Amino acid sequence: CGAMRKLTCALLCLLMILSIAFCLTACKSRTDEMADQEIYTEKQMNKMKNKVIKCINEQDKEGLKKLFSKDAQKHIEDLDGKLDQLIGAFNGNKIESAKGEGSGFEGSVSTQPIHIYEDYNITLNNGDEYTLFVSFCDKNDNEPEKVSLIQIELRTFSSEKTPKDFSGGTYKDDYGIFIYTLQNYPKE
């Protein structure tokens, strides 16, 4: 009977060790997966940001238009006019730097679609500071026409100069190009 008890105790200990080890590896792999996802989205965000900035700096309206998803191109009213306004808001000045304010993503490789978005404080070559928001769909295997740029929001003022009653603009998944000045911005 004593031997049985020892064997049972040894088996229970072994089961506990195995279950703890399993939990630790499961937690670790979940953390690794999240870290991998963040690294992946950061890379994708930087690629998109660089393409958007390059097109703005080169005043490449057609290049900027092609960055928008096919679905967004169909649904944005007067896309050409809005692209002209966006490029025109820089008055021929170039973006010299873009510092990320805060990025985020929704979805994952296993739960598509993946939407990625970030706010940037941008500095122009004339010293002006603007705020640029970029939102895009990175992966959507079921609806590939929805993949690519969804929204660009430009605030022709820095985040420090954002009025207290500024409502935060549009929702990150809304299709469009939105340009706000200190005279014309959505209030709370």
Q: Would the CA dihedral through 25, 139, 172, 174 be positive or negative?
A: negative
At 23, is the pLDDT very low, low, confident or very high (cuts 50, 70, 90)?
A: low
Considering the domain boundaries, does residue 66 fall inside one? yes
Which two three-digit tokens encode residue 151?
Answer: 């929204």
How many residues does this entry show for the chain?
188
Which position has the higher pLDDT, 105 or 130? 130
At 106, is the pLDDT very low, low, confident or very high (cuts 50, 70, 90)?
A: confident
The total number of structural domains in the chain stands at 1
| 3-state percent breakdown (helix, strand, coil) of the chain, nearest 5 | 45, 25, 30
Residue 104's domain comprises 46-180
Q: According to the model, what pLDDT value does residue 3 have?
A: 61
CA 161 to CA 173: how far, in whole Å? 25
Q: What is the mean pLDDT of residues 11-34?
A: 64
Considering the domain boundaries, does residue 96 fall inside one? yes
Residue 153 has pLDDT above 70, yes or no: yes
Render pLDDT for 42-92 as a digit per residue (tens, 0 to 9): 899 999 999 999 999 999 999 999 999 999 999 999 999 999 999 999 999
Give the residue among 141, 135, 147, 145 at the shortest CA–CA distance from 172.
135
Considering the domain boundaries, does residue 144 fall inside one? yes
How far, in whole angstroms, is CA 100 from its chain's centroid?
Answer: 10
CA 180 to CA 176: how far, in whole Å? 13
User: What CATH number has the domain bearing residue 90?
Assistant: 3.10.450.50
Q: E strands along the chain, which residues?
A: 95-106, 114-124, 129-139, 148-155, 176-180
Residue 167 has pLDDT above 90, yes or no: no
Render pLDDT for 38-48 as a digit per residue (tens, 0 to 9): 888 889 999 99
Q: According to the model, what pLDDT value does residue 31 have?
A: 64
Considering the domain boundaries, does residue 19 fall inside one? no
Residue 179 has pLDDT above 90, yes or no: yes
Biggest alpha carbon–alpha carbon distance for the chain: 90
Residue 9 has pLDDT above 70, yes or no: no
At 32, is the pLDDT very low, low, confident or very high (cuts 50, 70, 90)?
A: low
At 130, is the pLDDT very low, low, confident or very high (cuts 50, 70, 90)?
A: very high
CA 163 to CA 14: how far, in whole Å? 62
Considering the domain boundaries, does residue 20 fall inside one? no
Considering the domain boundaries, does residue 103 fall inside one? yes
Considering the domain boundaries, does residue 36 fall inside one? no
Considering the domain boundaries, does residue 137 fall inside one? yes
